[in-house]
Structure 1
Amino acid sequence: MATYNRAHFIVETLLSIQNQVFKDWECIIIDDGGTDNTTEIIKPFLKSDARFRYFNRESTYKKGLPGCRNYGLDLSKGEYVIFFDDDDIIHPQNLSISFSSIESSKADFCHYGKSPFIDTHPELNNQVVSLNKPITINDIQDIVTQKIGFASCTILWKKSCFSGNKFNEELHYAEEWECYIRLITNGFSGIMIDNILYYNRKHPNSNTGEYFNNNPLRKESYTKAILLVIQNLKQRQLLSYYLKRYFISKSIGFKEYNLFMKILKVLDLPIYERLQWQVFSKVLPYRLMIYRNKRLIEKKI
């Protein structure tokens, strides 16, 4: 768990971890240089429960979530790992269900569902394991487009998956999306279950909240992650026409970062195909505008 100035949220998060039905765990908290009273707030947990361990991020790891998570990975002693955020809540059966699912399926990871909340805390009802389907490299298209949502905190991984596959510390948003796609393209496969085992708190100061409020650091990081993912998929010959179209469509929302031209550079396409995508990029905003106006007219009718 990376933490940064979340003294007002972190106690609830730590309590939800402490209340796990599965007891054999360690929680490594990495402070990213916060200036609030987080250290004082978590002292009771550190004193009363040896499973909680607290560290300040070392300077050999870059500031940010990726650096903190990489440091935590290097410190961790277990065979499995989940990355938790410092403002969320986890279901008391999170570890027991995800661990039993990954063990019974002999998979490299277990993916489970999440549900957002703002002020009203979720009801943590007792759950029975509900297996859905395996996840393999054949699902890469749905993972890239986030039809299968690989959020940072919704997967129990075998720690061995991260051997040589750490988080990119240059990224400050979408770092887990880029990293997890890399893991899948490296051949790791898992199981997806239907259970909701994670509850993410919605507030404007989260990384996601800052991204949707057009924080330039988060926005630029997303463009960097997109280019890294494209490069990876291209190298592994997994870049379908559909995915090219998906990324080029995405680039329309990032004109200030010249993302479209950067994507074309990474793709290194033949002249004719390059021209096709340039035409597509020019026409798409008008097609989207016509589509939106059509929908508005239909609603009025």
Structure 2
Amino acid sequence: MSNNSKVTIIMATYNRAHFIEETLLSIQKQTFSEWECLIIDDGGSDNTKEVIAEILIEDKRFQFLKRPDIYVKGLSGCRNYGLDLAKGEYIIFFDDDDIVHPQNLECCVDELSTKDISFCRYIRDAFFGDFDYAFDYSKTYTSFYIDKKDVEKMLRNELQFNSCAIMWKSGCFERNRFAENLMYCEDWELYSRIVSSGYSGISIAKSLFFGRKHPESMTGEFYRNDPVRRESFTEAILLVLQSLKEKKLLTYSLKRYFIAIAIEFKEYNLYKKTLNILELPTFEKMKWQIFYTILPLRLKVYQMKKVLKKKIN
């Protein structure tokens, strides 16, 4: 392990022999060199280690480690293991099938080392098939600050916090870890928990990470209605609600937002579980029951009006 690791990169991997080498090569090309990369294998059965063996020998900043059984199998357990090993002042999570901009670490470290902030968010773009390596090396970009008041935008994904699009100061994880029971939206739950705890940061308008889109991704599985991912999403929602309730940050609009989402997850009884966490007075509970009952009809009417308006125009 490098003694000059200002940044710790944590990468969980599982059967990505066909993608991971390209990802590691993009990390090697970083303009900022003081990093360590902890590659945490989640019990894969392919030849990932053999594929990257030469890189591991040539560049000691990379470490290939097996997730111990004391951490739950999955992305969250691997990342928590990496957090427990991390030596860097800054922490960043990369996936094992994506491409990293050469200036990624440099830009984020510049922001975090010169401002009184705890994280640096940047733009994550997506690509399909072969990657176009025509990077933009400009260091001119706009930015804005993020703090607790922006949590609602985060939760609504109006201000997206992708897992591989933020560098954090290590202190953010002193009391915060990924919920290892979650198999989807674990980053959404954790990152909203961190920011709602009072940590502030900056968002820079520069594309520094490129996510590979393919059907094997967890997001792809969620949108194909994979039951494990869907159930995990409901569990993440309940954790978010509990956290916001304890911090007295549950606004009317957030209650409305999550109760509306519950309609799409009736098989997990999400509406009833949501109300149990909220512990509402009887009258307010009745009000939300009416809202929950008539919302599907209202949405249907809205869609019909939208279609009709389109036909008229």
- Tell me if TM exceeds 0.5: yes
Pairing 1:51–2:61 present: yes
In structure 1, what is the equivalent of residue 8 of structure 2?
none
Q: Structure 2: how far apart are the matches of 1:213 and 1:76?
A: 35
Q: Which one of 22, 26, 33 corresponds to residue 16 of structure 1?
A: 26
Q: Structure 1: how far apart are the matches of 2:157 and 2:141?
A: 21
SS at match of 1:7: coil
In structure 2, what is the equivalent of residue 39 of structure 1?
49
Pairing 1:277–2:288 present: yes
Q: Which one of 137, 140, 147 corresponds to residue 136 of structure 1?
A: 147
SS at match of 2:129: coil
Q: Structure 1: how far apart are the matches of 2:174 and 2:142?
A: 27
In structure 2, what is the equivalent of residue 160 of structure 1?
171
In structure 2, what is the equivalent of residue 229 of structure 1?
240
Runs of 4+ displaced beyond 3 Å: none
Q: Structure 1: how far apart are the matches of 2:84 and 2:274?
A: 33
The worse-fitting range, judged by mean Cα deviation, of 184-193 and 24-33 is: 184-193
Q: Which one of 209, 226, 229 corresponds to residue 215 of structure 1?
A: 226
TM-score by length of 1: 0.98
Q: Structure 1: how far apart are the matches of 2:306 and 2:53?
A: 55
In structure 2, what is the equivalent of residue 83 of structure 1?
93
Residue 36 of structure 1: how far off its partner (Å): 0.6
Q: Which runs of 5+ in 2 are unaligned?
A: 1-10
Q: Structure 2: how far apart are the matches of 1:106 and 1:277?
A: 41
One-letter identity of the residue aligned with 1:29: I
SS at match of 2:96: coil
The 5 Å alignment of 1:258-297 reads 258-297=269-308
Q: Structure 2: how far apart are the matches of 1:91 and 1:217?
A: 32
Pairing 1:25–2:35 present: yes
Residue 106 of structure 1: how far off its partner (Å): 2.1
SS at match of 2:131: coil
Instruction: Tell me if structure 2 keeps the 8 A contact 1:5–1:35.
Output: yes
The 5 Å alignment of 1:85-104 reads 85-104=95-114
Deviations 1:16-66 (A, max 9, x none): 111111111111000000001101011011011011011000011110001
Pairing 1:109–2:119 present: yes
In structure 2, what is the equivalent of residue 245 of structure 1?
256
Q: Number of residue pairs matched?
A: 301
TM-score by length of 2: 0.94
Q: Which runs of 5+ in 1 are unaligned?
A: none
Percent sequence identity is 51
